[in-house]
Amino acid sequence: MPVPSSSGSPSQLRYFDCDLTQVSPFPDNAIADYKLYGDYFLDVMKENLAANQEVIRKFDHLESFIAEAGAAVDSSIRVFTAQSGLTSGYALPVYTNVSNGLGIFDSRYIKKILEVHLSPGAIDELACNNETKSLGFLNSDGVLCP
């Protein structure tokens, strides 16, 4: 639901997905490093927001949800994915990595990071870049780019 701003005009938060899936497994004990590259970020903004000269936008923050799992979970997903679609059979194969039992024994990690703020330079790039300028974002000084 839109929330009225102090100026009396409606404001609303927008949420959309930005897929940063890491498809190749990390070596054991490696640190996962996910980066949101500028060009990809700008492309996501262009794809999810319509240009409208009557709308002024202010970028507030990002929220991040990270879910990681071990190699056994990855293997089970690949087995089940191979059995989906037009070529799928009615019975799914049994996948297990538990000796004398059924199931998947592995680890997983889920983390939600709230309020990741962009630097003033990144906000200026969003507001003033030729590709996203028409989206109407305010720059880091709170004004529209000329």
Q: What is the tens place of the pLDDT at every residue in 87-118?
A: 655 665 666 666 776 667 777 777 787 888 88
Quick one: 40 and 87 in the same domain? no
pTM as predicted? 0.60
Domain enclosing residue 42, as ranges? 33-59+118-141
Write out pLDDT tens, residues 23-52.
555 566 566 666 667 788 888 888 888 998
38 domain-assigned: yes
Query: Could you tell me which of 16, 117, 114, 112 has the C-alpha nearest to residue 68?
Result: 112
Same domain, 53 and 91: no
Is residue 46 one of the residues assigned to a domain? yes
- Domain assignment present for 49: yes
What distances in angstroms separate CA 57 from CA 29, 116, 133, one per listed residue? Answer: 42, 18, 11
Q: How many domains are there within the chain? A: 2
Number of H helices, E strands in the chain: 3, 4
